[in-house]
A and B are shown apart, each in its own frame.
Chain A
Amino acid sequence: MKLAKHKFRVGAISLMIALFFNISPALAFCGFYVAQADGDLYNQASQVIMARDGDRTVLTMANDYQGEVENFALVVPVPVVLKEEQVQVQTPKIIKRIDNFSAPRLVEYFDDNPCRPQGPILHSLESTASQTEAGRAQSADSLGVTVEEEFDVGEYSIVILSAKESKGLETWLQQNNYNIPDGASDLLQPYIRQNLKFFVAKVNLEKYNPDKFTSLRPLQMAYESSRFILPIRLGTLNAQGNQDLLVYILSPKGQAEVTNYRTVKIPSDVQIPVYIKEEEKFPEFYQSMFEKSWEKNNGKTVFLEYAWDMSKCDPCSAQPLNSEELKNAGVFWDDNSVFITRLHVRYNHNLYPQDLRFQETPNREFFQGRYVIRHPYDGQANCPEAESYYERVRDRQEKNAKTLANLTGWKLSEIEEKIDFVETEGNASEVWWRQLFD
């Protein structure tokens, strides 16, 4: 399969752009893309919002489809047959909003004048991370395939299929001009046997107006099922290498976690050198750190990047979503008590043999990926305390350099070259005998 050219808009300072740009030149989604005819397909990363209370789920799927719209097609296993009123298109803004709200952050502090003793004060809170353009881009009886429902929603034409056996489904998809990757039927069979249905979407070219939409909007579906899963296996089929998936789980109860893989917190609350901000290296830093943590855990790990109560958020790391935005994100329960969990999965065919299974827990502990920089005082300081202050700053700078090297795997010597170390009396450049012989 040919990959389309990287058509990336590097707009706002975007952590995730950096995150996905280099690492995952692969197709990704909880379903897989299949092309009608041999189109070029490209998908960078997927984002999914799951609002869930009890057995009720509202699933919003956004993806970064980069190919031609007429070639867009999507197959997602779903637990029940969905009717027209259970599916709608959603504004891409909501994904971006949730992403901004929950993205890992760089926080900045400034040291005060050491000659006026006082603790460091929080000067500004910078939200550095945001997200890529969301939702970009983009009979049968003898085969044992039943078209359960068929309808149009927004720019999409959707069929809901149930199938008796995978070969039949594969044939049906092929006959209907969906070009399925090799090996699809092996992956489809377990879903059929588990009595899952298939949500198949393509772009309705009559309704799609390229002038009106710059990208395909996210699809949102509501259903009731005790299965709390996200099918990722199909997405590994035509993938080359690792794929990134961000899952935002909204629950009235508390944190969500994955039950069949380990969920761990991404390293957080660490001090890193000031140049990371000044040279705009934060996206690069996060990317390297994520990669290192992922490798350290042998890849078989889901990372928690954010967990917060949106209704009682005091303190709040960002402006919480208002009730309109929550509704767009799929929150259907009344009291607007929403706990958000952001999970980041980097998966591939070998490391994640199973779909993700989730559970919601009553854990209401807050967590965020938060990285701190502390600027040394840059005014004049001539008091006796200043000397020990600068020594402390130098120690701190050395420690931060080591922390950064540990977290990212970058070379310590290269990091140290970039750090603007403060001058202290006992500097290495100051040779001890000079004081004696001068």
Chain B
Amino acid sequence: MKQAKAILDQTTLNIDLRDLQIFALSFFLLLGLISQGFDFALNSQTILVAIVASVSTQYLADLFIKQKEMPELISRSALITGLGLCLLLRTNSWEIMAFAAVSAVLSKFLIKYRGKHLFNPANFGIISVLCLTDGAWVSPGQWGESFFLALLFISVGGLILTWLGRWETTAIFLLVYGLGIALRNQWLGFGPEIWWHEINSGSLLLFAFFMISDPRSIPDGKWGRIIWSSAIALLTLILKYQFFLATAPFFALFFLSLLTPIFDDFWQGKRFSWTWTTFQLGGNQNEASKA
């Protein structure tokens, strides 16, 4: 029996959850590229620029701003940011993509409050090029409405979030957003098919599972996170239906991120760190709960 346990310990595989996230995002990108509907202004050059710019900015910032002696050559977090930009941001210009990637990664180093960065990097990159340049846009309809995709995003995203122990932001966001749409539809007299059409949007699910769930920039306290993500959902609804803003979720997240320090003041919790999140495949449960 003891022997068996020893063998099990030896075969335990350490997987960084960010690797899983990178794998999932790359898979979605590939899926988008293969399906013909995703051919709008996304080519291999833009993808390469986004990834190289994110990773190299991270390296240089680690070296010069953080003054690390031996920075990681390929930072996982920067890679996630680059992939996120490829999935959500559209532009015909590689310069704009590079600008988005550089500002996204730099925001982590420069815009901080009590040692914690304020914005989700990809979100900051998207908002900065939407506001400062005239050559970028977001295509909320690009993934269309597909049950298969929805299932994929939800299962992969949900799995990662469960392991991270940070699933409530996503769940609450979708709950409040879905409830808001249901109430609005009820009042307007729309049938359930419209609710389904609004929720079953690839872009929305991608945003919910892979952007607002970023454990490093969301509030630390559980109650803080719950109220914070409800507020994002409400603001998204207001921007979308009152101001007809197609980019509503991104702006909602951006504005609410500014308030994260206030949420952290009210509801204190343990700051998230990626170092606890090594998930042991075949081994014991997530170390995060013990840390």
Chain A positions within 8 Å of B, measured between CB atoms, are 166, 186, 189-190, 193-194, 226-228, 257-265, 297, 300-301, 350, 353-354, 357, 359, 361-365
Contacts and interface: CB of A to CB of B under 8 A. Distances in A.
Interface string B178-202: 0000000001111101100110010
B134 to A, nearest CB: 6
A265 B193 CA distance: 26
A294 to B, nearest CB: 13
Nearest to B144: A262
A344 B163 CA distance: 44
Given A226-B243, A300-B144, A301-B37, 20 more contacts: A166-B189, A186-B189, A189-B188, A193-B188, A257-B40, A260-B141, A260-B198, A262-B37, A262-B144, A262-B145, A263-B141, A263-B142, A265-B36, A265-B39, A300-B145, A353-B197, A354-B194, A357-B244, A362-B134, A365-B41
B135 A362 contact: yes
A363 B188 contact: no
Interface SS of chain B: loop
A364 B189 CA distance: 38
A265 B41 CA distance: 12
B188 A297 contact: no
B92 A364 contact: yes
| CB-CB nearest 5 A-B residue pairs | A262-B144, A361-B137, A189-B189, A190-B188, A264-B37
B251 to A, nearest CB: 14
A394 to B, nearest CB: 29
Nearest to A263: B141
13 contacts: A190-B190, A193-B188, A226-B243, A257-B40, A257-B141, A259-B141, A262-B144, A264-B37, A297-B37, A354-B194, A363-B90, A363-B92, A363-B137
A353 B135 contact: no
B136 interface: yes
A259 B246 contact: yes
A251 to B, nearest CB: 12
Nearest to B133: A362
Contacts of A262: 37, 141-145
Interface string B63-77: 000000000000000
Nearest to B37: A264
A365 B91 CA distance: 10
Contacts of A354: 194, 197-198
Contacts of A357: 244, 246
Contacts of A263: 37, 40, 139, 141-142
A258 B141 contact: yes
Interface in B120-155: 134-137, 139-145
B29 to A, nearest CB: 17
Contacts of A193: 187-189
Contacts of B134: 362
A261 B189 contact: no
A120 B145 CA distance: 43
A236 to B, nearest CB: 12
A34 B66 CA distance: 70
Contact of B194 (A261, A353, A361): A353
Given A264-B37, A297-B37, A364-B92, A228 B244 contact: yes
B141 A194 contact: no
A297 B143 CA distance: 12
A51 B198 CA distance: 27
A301 B143 CA distance: 11
Nearest to A187: B189
A186 B36 CA distance: 36
Nearest to A228: B244
Find the residue from B142, B193, B246 having the highest chain A CB count within 10 A. B246
Contacts of A228: 244
Contacts of A365: 41, 92
A194 B188 contact: yes
Contacts of B137: 359, 361-363
Nearest to A186: B189
A258 B139 CA distance: 8
Contacts of A301: 37, 144
Nearest to A358: B246
Interface in B39-97: 39-41, 90, 92
A261 B194 CA distance: 12
Which interface residue of A166, A226, A261, A359 has the most chain B CB atoms within 10 A?
A359
B145 A261 contact: yes
Given A194-B188, A226-B244, A365-B41, A260 B92 contact: no
A230 to B, nearest CB: 13
A227 B197 CA distance: 19
A287 to B, nearest CB: 20
Nearest to B143: A262
Contacts of B189: 166, 186, 189-190, 193
Contacts of A166: 189
Contact of A359 (B37, B136, B246): B246
A364 B90 CA distance: 12
Given A258-B141, A261-B141, A300-B144, A362 B136 contact: yes
A310 B90 CA distance: 23
A350 B188 CA distance: 18
B289 to A, nearest CB: 41
Nearest to A296: B36
Nearest to A185: B189
A173 to B, nearest CB: 18
Nearest to B36: A264
Contacts of A190: 188-190
A378 to B, nearest CB: 36
Contact of B191 (A227, A300, A353): A353
Contacts of A258: 141
Contacts of B201: 260
A162 to B, nearest CB: 16
B121 to A, nearest CB: 23
Contact of B139 (A189, A257, A265, A364): A257
A361 B140 CA distance: 12
A263 B137 CA distance: 14
A182 B190 CA distance: 17
A367 to B, nearest CB: 10
A265 to B, nearest CB: 6
Nearest to B134: A362
Contacts of B145: 261-262, 300
